[in-house]
């Protein structure tokens, strides 16, 4: 009788300690749509350079200050992977026609430019490195009136039209710019590429080429081709 009772107790304990039902997955997360023709695949070096989240190191009493982790900063100098990323970002979109490509590398920026004399049109990409990371308020400060004045410094004038963004951090700013009496439509995107890098992409086309603007915009940023 004692053996039977002991076996029943053991069986009860085993059942009670068995695996619990898995938690239901979160169903309300937004779908992630790649904003560019090429997927971001950071290598192990890039992953090791990502900043740590600012979370408490140790539990502390409520009346004591909480110690936060210091963000890990990286070198601001572009690596070869940054150059390759910038050059490959647009795929083969500008390999036809008379587009001419140039690129430069500075302290914390890789810049790639395309120019077409036949359209005429200018396309400009910049990969910006933020050594200690960035947040949305940093980008709000980055894209301000002073910055636009620099970007459009070689134009006779420019006019802000509108801006929009999606849930993945992709931003779009639209302008009308004038150069030598000719009006141009301008679309300027900002992509949160990694925790330390953003990519900006600007297309400048004559205002009489709306179809071409839609074609390029959809090819590059199907998730946010315009603010309409």
Output the CA–CA distances (angstroms, integers) from residue 132 to 43, 75, 76, 88, 178, in the order listed: 19, 9, 9, 25, 37
Task: Extract the tokens encoding 166.
Answer: 């999606």
- Supply the pLDDT for residue 8: 42
- Assess if residue 227 is contained within a domain: no
- Assess if residue 158 is contained within a domain: yes
- Supply the pLDDT for residue 95: 94
Contact residues for 128 (Cβ-Cβ < 8 A; gap 6+): 108, 109, 197, 198, 199, 200
- Assess if residue 35 is contained within a domain: no
pLDDT at 64 over 80: no
Nearest-angstrom CA–CA distance, 222 and 188? 14
Q: What are phi and psi of 44, to 5 degrees?
A: -65, -35
- Assess if residue 95 is contained within a domain: yes
Count of domains for the chain: 1
- Assess if residue 152 is contained within a domain: yes
- Assess if residue 51 is contained within a domain: no
- Assess if residue 86 is contained within a domain: yes
**Average pLDDT score over residue span 182-195:** 97
Nearest-angstrom CA–CA distance, 3 and 137? 69
| Residue 125 belongs to domain spanning | 77-220
Name the 3-class secondary structure at 164: strand
Closest listed residue to residue 88, CA positions, set 210, 176, 199, 5:
199
**Average pLDDT score over residue span 105-122:** 97
Contact residues for 205 (Cβ-Cβ < 8 A; gap 6+): 119, 121, 184, 185, 212, 213, 216
Nearest-angstrom CA–CA distance, 222 and 228? 13
List pLDDT tens digits, range 137-180: 999 999 999 999 999 999 999 999 999 999 999 999 999 999 99
Helix (H) or strand (E) segment spanning residue 185: strand 182-194
CATH number for 102: 3.40.1000.10
Nearest-angstrom CA–CA distance, 176 and 157? 9
User: 148 burial class (0-12, 13-18, 19+ CB within 10 angstroms)?
Assistant: middle
**Average pLDDT score over residue span 8-20:** 39
**Average pLDDT score over residue span 109-135:** 97
- Supply the pLDDT for residue 69: 57
- Assess if residue 40 is contained within a domain: no
């Amino acid at each position: 009788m004692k053996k039977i009772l002991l076996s029943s107790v053991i069986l009860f304990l085993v059942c009670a300690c068995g695996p619990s039902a898995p938690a239901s997955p979160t169903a309300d997360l937004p779908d992630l749509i790649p904003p560019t023709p090429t997927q971001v695949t950071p290598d192990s070096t890039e992953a090791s350079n990502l900043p740590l989240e600012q979370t408490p190191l140790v539990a502390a009493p409520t009346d004591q200050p909480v110690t936060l982790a210091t963000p890990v900063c990286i070198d601001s100098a572009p690596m070869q992977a940054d150059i390759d990323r910038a050059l490959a970002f647009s795929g083969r979109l500008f390999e036809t026609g008379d587009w001419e490509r140039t690129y430069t590398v500075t302290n914390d920026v890789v810049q790639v430019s395309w120019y077409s004399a036949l359209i005429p049109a200018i396309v400009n990409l910049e990969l910006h490195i933020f050594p200690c990371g960035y947040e949305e308020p940093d980008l709000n400060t980055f894209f301000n009136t002073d910055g636009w004045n620099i970007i459009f410094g070689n134009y006779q004038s420019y006019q802000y039209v509108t801006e929009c963004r999606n849930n993945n951090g992709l931003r779009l700013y639209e302008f009308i710019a004038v150069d030598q009496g000719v009006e141009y439509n301008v679309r300027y995107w900002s992509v949160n590429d990694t925790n330390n890098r953003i990519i900006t992409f600007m297309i400048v086309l004559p205002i009489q080429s709306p179809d071409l603007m839609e074609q390029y915009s959809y090819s590059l940023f199907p998730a946010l081709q315009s603010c309409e």
